[in-house]
């Protein structure tokens, strides 16, 4: 058992990790997940699993196989007879979700709330997924970082999808990662307060912080995105970790947006929802954020102005924030919280029409920028169309972006 010491913690008290896991139709993955946990070099952990689906699915013929799969998962976990494993059954007949309260958001919240009730304030709650593989140093690396930065409110863990050997799946996940990493690299380069990725299988925070921010807000999709936004508005997010998680690349429509739906759309050639945003759009975000301090004393147009005008419905965006801020520092904080990661993403989508270049051209603008050295991109293929790239070509692009992202995360540490 490991004992960590840091400001505000009882030096004689060992910390505990509470791993939380929403499960639906995952019997084929649950054994591998448990092997990952049993291999951890951090001994004191507990796993809280919420096995779930709507109760009415038991009566729907084409959904019954999911209910039966969940029953196999529960039986498997119970057969382990391990006191470290707690199962919250929202799946068995009569116990499944009823009404509007259902989905991965409610399952993740249920597991995390359960863990928070068991944990001490300084214990660590880790959000996981059954289809993700975790290295043996995962818990120790997470705890090290969270308690290296005791004032931080959370941690976003780096991710990397391993290839499957199926060309269609690999092509889709690589294209999606390139989209994700283009966004992340620009945000990291600009040191934007929201320069982190929201991955439900790779989030962590202290139990006390979880309770302080009001826990996770359940959503049918994107609960991880909204939760880490909430954590960022309460403090800083740690963006670096020595461990890297490996989510599975699979086609899935169990949620409305995220990796699975993106892969399905990509398989059909519909990448319009996942464009490579222009660096000029990110500069507009940066210049707007830089203007916050000056806007405390006077209104003036900022590069994001036309987008801001669309969301204020005729009211004074800056005036309202100014009137509710006791100081310039409070005003800047209010601006940062109002123009959050969701608003930034909405702006990027709306601004993208101003840049008619192809996704490939916009990616080359990033790769040829000062962020990358000649040596960084020396091995890249000379691509003009992602569709014409081989899997090896796409993987080379992804890997160069991944390494640069890791380098920036290590340099920045806190967002």
CA angle 155, 240, 276 (to 5 degrees): 95
**Helix (H) or strand (E) segment spanning residue 296:** none
pLDDT at res. 261? 75
- Find, among 151, 111, 289, 324, the residue nearest to 231 by Cα: 151
Average of per-residue pLDDT across 78-95: 97
Going 133 to 137 to 139 to 145, the CA torsion angle's sign is negative
The yes-or-no verdict on residue 216 having pLDDT over 70 is yes
Question: pLDDT grade, residue 229 (50/70/90)?
Answer: very high
Q: CA 393 to CA 380: how far, in whole Å?
A: 7
Write the pLDDT tens digit of every residue in 15-39: 899 999 999 999 999 999 999 999 9
| 3-state SS class at 124 | strand
Q: CA 203 to CA 199: how far, in whole Å?
A: 7
As a three-state string, the secondary structure of 360-372 is HHHHHHHHCCCCC
In terms of average pLDDT, the best of 11-25, 217-231, 400-414 is 400-414
Query: What phi and psi values does residue 370 have, to the nearest 5 degrees?
Result: -65, -15
- Find, among 397, 400, 371, the residue nearest to 385 by Cα: 397
Please enumerate, as own/partner, the contacts of 294-299 that have beta carbons within 8 Å and a separation of 24 or more: 295/322, 295/331, 295/335, 296/322, 296/325, 296/328, 296/331, 296/332
Report in angstroms the alpha-carbon separations of 362 from 194, 280, 359, 395. Answer: 21, 10, 5, 18
Average of per-residue pLDDT across 166-182: 93
Q: Where are the beta strands (DSSP E) in 192-337?
A: 203-206, 237-238, 246-247
Q: CA 169 to CA 251: how far, in whole Å?
A: 8
pLDDT at res. 269? 76
pLDDT at res. 94? 97
The yes-or-no verdict on residue 46 having pLDDT over 50 is yes
pLDDT at res. 360? 96
Where are the domains positioned within the chain? 17-159+197-243, 279-389
The overall longest dimension of the chain from CA atoms, in Å, is 66
Which range is least confidently modeled, 13-22, 187-196, 235-244?
Answer: 13-22
pLDDT at res. 7? 34
Question: pLDDT grade, residue 381 (50/70/90)?
Answer: confident
> What is the overall mean pLDDT for the chain?
91
CA angle 50, 52, 55 (to 5 degrees): 145
Average of per-residue pLDDT across 1-14: 41
Q: CA 286 to CA 133: how far, in whole Å?
A: 35
For residue 384, give both structure tokens: 């003009």
Average of per-residue pLDDT across 277-286: 98
252 exposed, middle or buried (CB, 10 Å; 0-12, 13-18, 19+)? middle
pLDDT at res. 314? 55
**17-159+197-243: what CATH class?**
alpha beta
pLDDT at res. 392? 95
DSSP 145-212: HHHHSTT--EEE--B-PPP-S-HHHHHHHHHHHHHHHHHHHHHHHTT-TT-S---GGGEEEEHHHHHH
**Helix (H) or strand (E) segment spanning residue 284:** helix 279-290
Quote the percentage of the chain above a pLDDT of 70.
93
Write the pLDDT tens digit of every residue in 289-301: 999 999 999 999 9
pTM of the model: 0.92
**103, 254 Cβ separation under 8 angstroms:** no
HSE (side-chain half, CA atoms, 13 Å) at 342: 14
- In the block, residue with structure tokens 């995360």: 409
Write the pLDDT tens digit of every residue in 107-116: 999 999 999 9
| 3-state SS class at 350 | helix
Q: CA 207 to CA 362: how far, in whole Å?
A: 41
């Amino acid at each position: 058992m490991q004992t960590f010491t840091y400001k505000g913690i009882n030096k004689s008290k060992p910390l505990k990790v509470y791993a939380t896991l929403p499960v639906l139709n995952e019997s084929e993955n649950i054994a591998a997940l448990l092997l990952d946990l049993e291999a951890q070099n951090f001994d004191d952990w507990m796993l809280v699993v919420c096995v779930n689906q709507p109760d009415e699915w038991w009566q729907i013929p084409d959904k019954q196989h999911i209910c039966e799969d969940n029953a196999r998962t529960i039986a498997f976990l119970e057969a382990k007879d391990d006191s470290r494993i707690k199962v919250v059954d929202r799946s068995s007949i009569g116990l499944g979700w009823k009404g509007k309260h259902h989905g991965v958001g409610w399952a993740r919240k249920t597991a995390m709330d359960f863990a928070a009730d068991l944990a001490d304030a300084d214990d660590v709650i880790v959000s996981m997924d059954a289809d993700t593989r975790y290295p043996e140093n995962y818990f120790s690396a997470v705890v090290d970082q969270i308690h290296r930065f005791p004032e931080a409110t959370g941690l976003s863990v780096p991710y990397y999808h391993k290839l499957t050997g199926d060309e269609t799946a690999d092509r889709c996940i690589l294209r999606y990662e390139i989209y994700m990493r283009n966004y992340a690299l620009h945000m990291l380069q600009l040191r934007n307060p929201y320069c982190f990725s929201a991955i439900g299988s790779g989030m962590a925070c202290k139990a006390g912080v979880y309770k302080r921010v009001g826990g996770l807000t359940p959503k049918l999709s994107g609960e991880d995105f909204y939760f880490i936004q909430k954590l960022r508005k309460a403090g800083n997010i740690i963006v670096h970790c020595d461990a890297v998680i490996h989510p599975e690349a699979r086609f899935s429509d169990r949620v409305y947006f995220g990796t699975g739906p993106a892969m399905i759309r990509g398989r059909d050639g519909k990448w319009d929802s996942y464009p490579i945003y222009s660096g000029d759009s990110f500069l507009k975000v940066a210049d707007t954020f830089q203007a916050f301090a000056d806007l405390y004393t006077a209104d003036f147009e900022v590069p994001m102005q036309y987008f801001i005008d669309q969301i204020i419905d005729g009211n004074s965006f800056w005036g309202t924030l100014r009137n509710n801020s006791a100081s310039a520092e409070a005003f800047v904080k209010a601006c940062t919280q109002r123009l959050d990661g969701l608003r930034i993403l909405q702006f990027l989508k709306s601004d993208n029409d101003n840049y008619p270049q192809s996704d490939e051209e916009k990616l080359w603008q990033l790769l040829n920028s000062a962020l990358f050295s000649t040596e960084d991109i020396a091995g890249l293929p000379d691509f003009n169309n992602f569709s014409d790239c081989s899997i090896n070509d796409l993987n080379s692009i992804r890997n160069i972006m991944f390494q640069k992202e890791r380098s920036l995360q290590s340099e920045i540490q806190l967002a």
